[in-house]
Each structure stands twice: as C-alpha cells, then as structure tokens.
C-alpha cells in the first residue's frame, strides 16, 4: 500500500492514498466497456466496490480471465462468473441497419466511447473499430435497427482473446471513455457560457434583441424574431429570451451563416415516411415489451 507522509493525519492519508492506488490497479484489470452489467455505472465504480469487498465475479465481458487476474491481485478465491450478471460470450459489435435509421441520435447519446457517427434526421453508423460491444445503444433505439453481431462475423479472425490484446484494447477503450467524459464537461461549460452571453446581451439596459443574438438563429428564424421584436417593443419578454437561449443551444457550434443551406433534405413522401417510422416504432415497442415480459417470468 502506498505511503504518504503527513504530519497531521499521516495514517488517514496513507489509507486513502492506498485505496485510490488499489482502485486504479483493479480498474486496470477491468475490460472498460462501461456496460453496467456488474450493477455499477461503469468499470471504475465497480473497481471501487471491489476494493471495499464486493465480489469480483460480476463482470461478464471480462469473464473467467478477469476473475483470475482480480483474484491474483487481491489474494482472493477464484470464483465462477455470477450468472445473475450475465454469461461469458464472444465479443460483439453493434451494427446499425442504416436504411431503417430515422436519425434520432439517441444511440449517440448512449454510446460511452463515441463510436457512432450521425446527425439529427440523418442516417447513423457505427465505427466498428471503436465499438466496445457494451450494448448500451440498443435499448434507446426507437425503431430497433441496431444489431449486436459476433466480432468474428464483422472482422476477420483475430487474436482477440490473447491477454496482451485484451489489455491494449481495454486501455484504449478507457482512454476513449475518459476523453468523452471530458468532452461532455467542455460542451456543458460552453453551453452555459453561451447562455450567459445571450442573457448578458439581452440585459434590461439593451432592451431588445440585438444582432449578435440573431446571428445564432437560422435564417428563417432570424426574420421571424425581427418581426416579433418589432411587434413587441422592449422590454423583451421572458419567452423570447428562453427562445433565444434554446436556439443558441441548438446552434451551439456558432453563428449560422445567413446563406446557410438547411442540412435536412425533405423526404420524398412525408406521409409515407411518417407512417413507416410510426410502424417501426410500434414494432420496436412491441418487441421490447415482449422481451421485458420474458425477463420478468
């Protein structure tokens, strides 16, 4: 256990430092898919739980090899994988049936390692080489167009299960996950800053929608807001402030050029597209309900 000198609380610091070091060592042995099958919100929380005595056999992606490594590290008994948390199986990779994707972006939001590419109302696709097989994108998909395929069906035969390959892979997934977490922190901070900037721009002293705010709106909205501004002279209503703030969020990549082309192409037959999507959503819902009922019995 790591020692740390502290003249006031030496023993406490030593224990805390030692626990952190132990958690890191345990976390290093976990597969880093962040799938949550162990019952925790990711690999590090499970590592923290193991460090405080939780059973070490609850990680199906790691399977027997990870249990052996953890037992050796901690000097504990090697146990079989706890079936309540799943079974060990060939690694899988997500694959989107792209023709059926409605571009809702829910899978992107669920993916802990940014392995999905797409944009609102446009087709999404999985970057196969980055997918950890965590399964987290499947449940949120409203039209059930994501399949989990065995890795051998997607990529040529590999030495996938050799210890050094597993270790390299989990290190890489961990860095992807940590990068994403940091990215989300940065995005949230940037959104807050932008909201604040909008609020400052629209302070009572200004009393009206100023061009800087309008820059964040798409062209058709700019015109509408100008009309609203003319029709409802200062002070600006809280509804308009809210609208401007939400638009700033929506267009948080920055001001939209006046001649920007709307990126979403209209569907050829909107009624048919709507009906198709509705039917797919209902099918997906029925299937998920059936799976849920089967799980409960």
Point out which residues bind ligand SF4 (CB under 6 A): 30-31, 33-38, 40, 42-43, 46, 59, 61-62, 94, 96, 101-107, 110-111, 113, 115-116, 118, 124, 126, 131-137, 140-141, 143, 145-146
CB of 140 to ligand SF4, least distance (A): 6
Closer residue to ligand SF4, CB minimum distance, 63 or 214: 63
Closer residue to ligand SF4, CB minimum distance, 9 or 168: 168
CB of 161 to ligand SF4, least distance (A): 15
Question: Can you state the percent helix, strand and coil of the chain, rounding each to 5?
Answer: 55, 5, 45
Closer residue to ligand SF4, CB minimum distance, 133 or 166: 133
CB of 214 to ligand SF4, least distance (A): 31
Cβ neighbours around 188 below 10 Å, total? 10
What is the distance between the alpha carbons of residues 38 and 75, in angstroms, rounded to a whole number?
A: 21
CB of 2 to ligand SF4, least distance (A): 23
* DSSP run (H or E) holding 126: strand 125-126
Cα 190-103-134 angle, rounded to 5 deg: 80
Answer whether the bond into residue 121 is a cis peptide, omega within 30°. Answer: no
CB of 294 to ligand SF4, least distance (A): 22
Q: What is the DSSP letter of 83?
A: G
Closer residue to ligand SF4, CB minimum distance, 48 or 197: 48
Closer residue to ligand SF4, CB minimum distance, 90 or 223: 90
Closer residue to ligand SF4, CB minimum distance, 92 or 243: 92
Closer residue to ligand SF4, CB minimum distance, 59 or 247: 59
CB of 219 to ligand SF4, least distance (A): 26
Closest C-alpha among 77, 18, 86 to residue 52: 18
Residue 240 has phi, psi (to 5 degrees) of -70, -35
CB of 58 to ligand SF4, least distance (A): 7
Residue with tokens 């060990």: 88
HEC string of 124-192 equals CEECHHHCCCCCCCCCCCCCCCEEEEEHHHHCCCCCCCCHHHHHHHHHHHHHHHHHHHHHHHHHHHHHH
């Amino acid at each position: 256990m790591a020692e740390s000198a502290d003249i006031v609380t030496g023993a406490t610091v030593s224990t805390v430092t030692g626990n952190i070091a132990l958690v890191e060592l345990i976390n290093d042995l976990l597969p880093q898919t962040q799938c949550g099958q162990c019952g925790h919100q990711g690999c590090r929380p499970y590592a923290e739980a193991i460090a405080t005595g939780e059973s070490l056999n609850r990680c199906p992606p790691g399977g027997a090899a990870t249990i052996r490594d953890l037992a050796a590290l901690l000097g504990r008994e090697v146990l079989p994988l706890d079936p309540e948390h799943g079974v060990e199986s060939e690694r899988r990779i997500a694959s989107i049936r792209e023709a059926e994707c409605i571009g809702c972006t829910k899978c992107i939001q669920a993916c802990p390692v940014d392995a999905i590419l797409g944009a609102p109302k446009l087709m999404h696709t999985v970057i196969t080489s980055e997918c950890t097989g965590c399964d987290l994108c499947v449940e949120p998909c409203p039209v059930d167009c994501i399949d989990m395929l065995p890795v051998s069906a997607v990529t040529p035969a590999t030495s996938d299960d050799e210890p050094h390959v597993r270790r390299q892979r989990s290190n890489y997934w961990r860095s992807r996950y940590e990068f994403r977490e940091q990215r989300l922190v940065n995005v949230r901070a940037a959104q807050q800053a932008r909201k604040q900037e909008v609020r400052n721009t629209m302070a009572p002293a200004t009393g009206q929608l100023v061009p800087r705010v309008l820059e964040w709106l798409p062209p058709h909205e700019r015109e509408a807001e100008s009309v609203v501004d003319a029709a409802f002279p200062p002070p600006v209503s809280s509804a308009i402030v809210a609208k401007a703030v939400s638009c700033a969020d929506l267009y948080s990549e920055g001001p939209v050029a006046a001649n920007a082309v709307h990126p979403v192409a209209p569907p050829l037959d909107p009624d048919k597209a709507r009906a198709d999507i509705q039917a797919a959503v209902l099918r997906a819902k029925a299937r998920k309900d059936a799976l849920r009922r089967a799980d409960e019995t």
